[in-house]
């Protein structure tokens, strides 16, 4: 995949587990595609980030969201539903990356238009392989939708991390 103006691919990771966050950061650090990772730990912060509210007023619009379902304050299922019903956010691909294997969670995620559903492996090496596979598919093969700002102005906004 080529990025607009060779800018890094903006990824929002919504994850409350520090160990899963560390593994994801490590896997993406070795990525073949230049990326910028922003991290939030709960569903309320995820929506504030996406809507650029409060401390996230200067946050970049993500090209891809990696979303855990079991989050504090606002569940990932609710976050997904809000993203996919919001006209300004619904074109952002959402990869559900969760420990839940429950059939109802899988069905509900796709009902709310998740772009894919991946169950996190428990094994360290397998987890790294999964994140690298996400990177390979979503950042190298798929053409991501342009962000509203870059499509209109030809720029990506200013990067910001958590």
For 98-109, how does the pLDDT look when each residue is reduced to its tens digit (9 = 90+)? 888 999 999 999
Classify residue 152: in a domain, yes or no.
no
Question: Percent of the chain scored above 70 by pLDDT?
Answer: 85
* Contact indicator for 130, 118 with CB cutoff of 8 Å: yes
SS3 for 110?
helix
* Contact indicator for 92, 145 with CB cutoff of 8 Å: yes
Classify residue 95: in a domain, yes or no.
yes
All residues at 6 or more sequence positions from 91 whose CB lies less than 8 Å from its CB, including other chains: 145
Classify residue 161: in a domain, yes or no.
no
Classify residue 149: in a domain, yes or no.
no
Classify residue 156: in a domain, yes or no.
no
The CATH number assigned to the domain holding 106 equals 3.40.50.2300
pLDDT score recorded for residue 25: 87
Classify residue 154: in a domain, yes or no.
no
Q: What is the DSSP letter of 55?
A: G
Structural domain including 96 reads: 7-140
The number of beta carbons lying within 10 Å of the beta carbon of residue 85 is 11
Classify residue 147: in a domain, yes or no.
no
Res. 67: pLDDT tops 90: yes
For 120-139, how does the pLDDT look when each residue is reduced to its tens digit (9 = 90+)? 887 878 888 888 888 888 87
pLDDT score recorded for residue 3: 42
Alpha-carbon distances, residue 57 vs 60, 65, 75, 94, 102 (angstroms): 9, 18, 23, 21, 36
The pTM assigned to this predicted structure is 0.83
Average pLDDT for residues 53-63, to the nearest whole number?
A: 94
For 4-57, how does the pLDDT look when each residue is reduced to its tens digit (9 = 90+)? 446 788 999 999 999 889 888 888 887 667 788 999 999 999 999 999 999 999
Looking at every residue in the chain, the average pLDDT score rounds to: 83
CA-CA distance, 119 to 7, in Å (whole number)?
Answer: 30
Res. 147: pLDDT tops 80: no
Q: What share of the chain is helix, strand, coil (3-state, %, to 5)?
A: 45, 15, 40
pLDDT score recorded for residue 17: 92
* Contact indicator for 157, 135 with CB cutoff of 8 Å: no
Classify residue 160: in a domain, yes or no.
no
Structural domain total, the chain: 1
Side-chain-side CA neighbours of 74 within 13 Å: the count stands at: 16
């Amino acid at each position: 995949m080529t990025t607009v103006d060779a800018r890094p691919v903006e990824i929002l990771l919504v994850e409350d587990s520090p160990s899963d966050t560390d593994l994801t950061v490590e896997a993406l650090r070795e990525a073949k595609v230049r990326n910028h990772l922003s991290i939030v730990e709960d569903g309320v912060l995820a929506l504030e980030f996406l809507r650029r509210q409060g401390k996230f007023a200067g946050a970049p619009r993500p090209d891809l969201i990696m979303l855990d379902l079991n989050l504090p304050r606002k569940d990932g299922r609710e976050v997904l539903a809000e993203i996919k019903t919001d006209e300004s956010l619904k074109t952002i691909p959402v990869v559900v990356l969760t420990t839940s294997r429950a059939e109802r969670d899988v069905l509900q995620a796709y009902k709310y238009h998740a772009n894919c559903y991946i169950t996190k492996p428990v094994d360290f090496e397998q987890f790294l392989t999964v994140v690298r596979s996400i990177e390979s598919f979503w950042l190298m093969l798929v053409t991501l939708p342009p962000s509203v700002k870059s499509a209109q102005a030809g720029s990506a906004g200013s990067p910001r991390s958590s």
